Amino acid sequence: MKFIMNTGRTIRQGKHIESKLGSAYSDETGTCFMHPMDMLALGVEENENVKASTGVGEVVLTVKTDEGLPEGMIFIPYGRHCNAILPSTTHSTGMPDYKHSDIEVIATDEKRKSAAELMRDMGGISYENH
**pLDDT for the residue numbered 53:** 96
Asked if residue 59 lies in contact with residue 51, where contact means CB atoms within 8 angstroms, the answer is: yes
Residue 104: what pLDDT? 97
What is the full per-residue pLDDT of the chain (130 aa) written as tens digits? 999 999 988 888 878 777 777 788 888 899 999 999 999 999 999 999 999 999 889 999 999 999 999 999 999 999 889 889 988 887 888 877 888 889 999 999 999 998 888 888 888 776 655 5
